[in-house]
Amino acid sequence: MQYKILSTKYNDIKFIKLKSNFIEAVVTNLGCAIVSLKTKNKNGIFTENVLGFNDIDTYIKQDKYIGVVVGRCANRIAKGEFELNGEKYKLYKNNGSNHLHGGKEGFDKKIFDFNINENSIIFSYTSENGEEGYPSRLDFTVEYAVSQNAFTVKYSGISDGTTVLNPTNHSYFNLSGGKTNILNHKLMISADKFGKIDNEGLVTGEIQDVKNTAFDFNSSKKIADCIYKSDEQLKLGNGYDHPFILKKNVNPQIELNDEGSGKFLRINTTMPCVQLYTANYLDGTLLGAHKTPLNKHFGICLETSFFPNAINNQFRNDVVLKCGERFSSTTQYIFGNI
């Protein structure tokens, strides 16, 4: 992997270019954002696969989590509250009555340290006891590795007391290189069950079979053919904004295809779920790298993680990280041409 560090107007924030023969990525230590993730198309030209911004200031001010790592806990925590070891913890409520994506200033707004080695870059950050209301001090790392056709993300965390941890990456994929929205992309998610949400986007804890619903992506389907179906859950989410429980031992677990650009993305993860979010709340006010307004459905997030609000529901044990135990997870994004 070749790399190059580019400075910005902020001393401690950098853009870092990572490169293999097939992949050209740009990342930053602000929120570990994936700024750009280009791969060679069938004509051998590097074209974009994610939404991103050219300048750090937009990363500082954006609230759509474009490209960033979110934590300590991705998605919503009901009423910003949970109990752990008999103690009640209160988190910042930044999404109506709920806590979202780590709070007011989650991992997405933190400046990480970084080290570059032969095949990867490792970002590290220490989240102090009580940060955003979360208990215990947490040492957290994110590794991005670039190999021939894969971009691999590894998260690791260890804390000095019991806490909760559920990080993810919040990249908005768009295999058209930002030319069109993602409604013509085809999506496959190997999952028989998904989690229902309420009118605030919070999971209700109810798990539903995808069979005979607009949520059955076991065979690849064009998003436009599914997202407008009459479905109470799609109405509540303003599109897809739901966790799917992934099947294990299938490869790939998730696949995105775009006939227009001739590209595919395949995802495998050690995490049990993926949050499918079809950029329902992008409204054109943010401009992307080529000054394109980022409108509704201009990207698709495939956030591999534990089940949302796990600390308050039946998936509680998944997210509890005990003192001195190491959390680790890996998600691999494989790119290619159809």
Residue positions annotated with a catalytic role: 170, 303
- For residue 235, state whether it binds ligand BGC (rule: CB under 6 A): no
Q: Are 13 and 111 in contact (CB under 8 A)?
A: yes
Can the peptide bond before residue 266 be classed as cis, meaning omega within 30 degrees of 0? no
Instruction: Count the neighbouring beta carbons within 10 Å of the beta carbon of residue 320.
Output: 17
Residue 77 sits at φ, ψ, to 5 deg, of -120, 120
- For residue 215, state whether it binds ligand BGC (rule: CB under 6 A): no
Instruction: Count the neighbouring beta carbons within 10 Å of the beta carbon of residue 83.
Output: 11
Q: Are 154 and 140 in contact (CB under 8 A)?
A: no
- For residue 255, state whether it binds ligand BGC (rule: CB under 6 A): no
- For residue 281, state whether it binds ligand BGC (rule: CB under 6 A): yes
- For residue 303, state whether it binds ligand BGC (rule: CB under 6 A): yes
DSSP state at residue 68? -
DSSP-based three-state secondary structure for 227: helix
Among 275, 278, 312, 329, binds ligand BGC (CB under 6 A): 275
- For residue 48, state whether it binds ligand BGC (rule: CB under 6 A): no
Closest separation in Å from C-beta 197 to ligand BGC? 8
- For residue 103, state whether it binds ligand BGC (rule: CB under 6 A): no
Interface stretch with ligand BGC, choices 47-55, 103-111, 274-282, 320-328 (CB under 6 A): 274-282
- For residue 75, state whether it binds ligand BGC (rule: CB under 6 A): yes
**Beta-carbon contacts of residue 86 (< 8 Å; ≥ 6 apart):** none
**Beta-carbon contacts of residue 10 (< 8 Å; ≥ 6 apart):** 56
The smaller minimum CB distance to ligand BGC, of residues 28 and 275, is found at 275
Closest separation in Å from C-beta 204 to ligand BGC? 14
- For residue 201, state whether it binds ligand BGC (rule: CB under 6 A): yes
Among 38, 64, 185, 266, binds ligand BGC (CB under 6 A): 64
- For residue 241, state whether it binds ligand BGC (rule: CB under 6 A): yes
Burial per residue of 253-263, b for 16 or more beta-carbon CB atoms within 10 angstroms, e otherwise: bbbbbbeebeb
Q: Are 279 and 301 in contact (CB under 8 A)?
A: yes
The smaller minimum CB distance to ligand BGC, of residues 136 and 329, is found at 329
Among 114, 151, 173, 277, binds ligand BGC (CB under 6 A): 277
Q: What distance in Å separates the CA atoms of residue 115 and residue 235, rounded to the nearest whole number?
A: 44
- For residue 65, state whether it binds ligand BGC (rule: CB under 6 A): yes
Give the residues lining the site for ligand BGC (CB under 6 A).
Answer: 64-65, 75, 201, 241, 275, 277, 281, 301, 303
